[in-house]
Amino acid sequence: MESLKVAGIRLGTTCAGIKYPNRRDLVVIEAAAGTRAAAVFTRNAFCAAPVIVARTHLAAASPRYLVINTGNANAGTGRHGLVDAEASCRSLAERVGCRTEEVLPFSTGVIGEPLPLFRLVAGLPAALAALRADGWTEAAHGIMTTDTRPKWASRRLHLADREVTVTGIAKGAGMIRPDMATLLAFIATDAAVDEPVLQSVLTEAVADSFNAITVDGDTSTNDSCLLLATGQSGANVPAQGEDYARFAGAVREVCSDLAQAIIRDGEGATKFITVQIEGGRDAAECRQVAYTIAHSPLVKTAFFASDPNWGRILAAVGRAGLADLEIDRVALHLDEVCIVQNGGRALDYTEEQGQQVMARPEITIRVELGRGAAAARIWTTDLSFDYVRINAEYRT
């Protein structure tokens, strides 16, 4: 799907040589005056310098510009990293004539290395010169690291007889088990939305999208997700009602598309796996089981080999830490095939049925716990040789 322009948003992308020459690695996003913002950030205690600065700036002013670099995370860089993140904002602000607090910094890449600030600053004039309303696709390329393809999504809807657009871009392929966001995601709309409503919409959307995916169980130091509302369409989003539901649904769909794109582009991934847990006492314990399955190297490698080794899945359910789990109530399905029933192998299950399902590129693991009415769903990948190679060679 083509990325749709959002009135009041322009994006510029350039090659600044931050880590590699002749690679798009610096993006500037300009938002119209009066734009409102909502954000979610990583809960990693070693959060990156740009995350700290972005939080501070958001509390002080509404953003007019975002400056985003790849190739260097500016994380684990101590006080010097904070100075560099602040300096990148100040340099951009001086060029465009806004306050430093109206610029938000975002970085992604290698952790623990000083940000080459001089290259970032030198690249700003080219990024600003490239600003245009249809720059979403270029920007999606410009925020990639180990991603193999750019990720964007758009929705168009009508609110009170006015056309509204929601468009977003994201990056991420590894170090993915988001905790309040994904690695980097930037979403914008031309609707007018009060900040508390905007934050509520984003928080709800993130819970079922970016916070419901995992590649490897690692939460990044730089996770950031931002939702901008320019108000340029003239359509107001209320705090409740049908228009709120339609708008929230569009944001949720954009986030879901981007989150699924991250899983489909997971480092070395060959399978897209949905883990659906049903019959739990509450959603939290269902997620606990789902993540235990999704983070098991034995489960993930079995999926890579297309091996219906269902005992690994059952073992993961058993060690997920649920109190008083009655195993004779547990059932396990791979797609339409019932493998486990009443806590043991289903009487009519055959290895051939399991192999047919496991050969598919997209598979659903469905576990029935038989202890309540709650459910949860996450998306994950298999674990391949290429995942090990990519991460073993990441800094070389």
What's the CATH class of domain 272-392?
A: alpha beta
For the chain, first and last CA: distance in Å? 34
Minimal CA–CA distance to 278: which of 265, 266, 269, 287? 287
Handedness of CA 359, 266, 154, 187 (dihedral sign): positive
Confidence class for position 394, pLDDT limits 50, 70, 90 = confident
**What was the pLDDT predicted at 179?**
77
- Average pLDDT along the chain: 95
Using an 8 Å Cβ cutoff, are 139 and 10 in contact? no
State the catalytic residues: 182
Using an 8 Å Cβ cutoff, are 40 and 67 in contact? no
Task: Report domain extents, the chain.
Answer: 9-264, 272-392
Q: What is the pTM of this model?
A: 0.94
Using an 8 Å Cβ cutoff, are 367 and 277 in contact? yes
Quote the CA–CA distance of 101 and 122 in Å, as a whole number: 21
Q: Say yes or no to pLDDT of 43 above 90.
A: no
| Coil, helix or strand at residue 222 | coil
Each residue of 289-298: pLDDT tens digit? 999 999 999 9
Which regions of 116-183 does DSSP assign to beta strands (E)?
Answer: 151-159, 162-171
**What was the pLDDT predicted at 9?**
98
The CATH code that applies to domain 9-264 is 3.60.70.12
Q: What is the 3-state secondary structure (H, E, C) of 290-315?
A: HHHHHCCHHHHHHHHCCCCCHHHHHH
Each residue of 264-282: pLDDT tens digit? 998 889 999 999 999 999 9
pLDDT > 90 fraction of the chain, expressed in percent and rounded: 88
**What average pLDDT does the segment 100-120 reach?**
96
Joined together, the tokens standing for residue 337 give: 């095939």
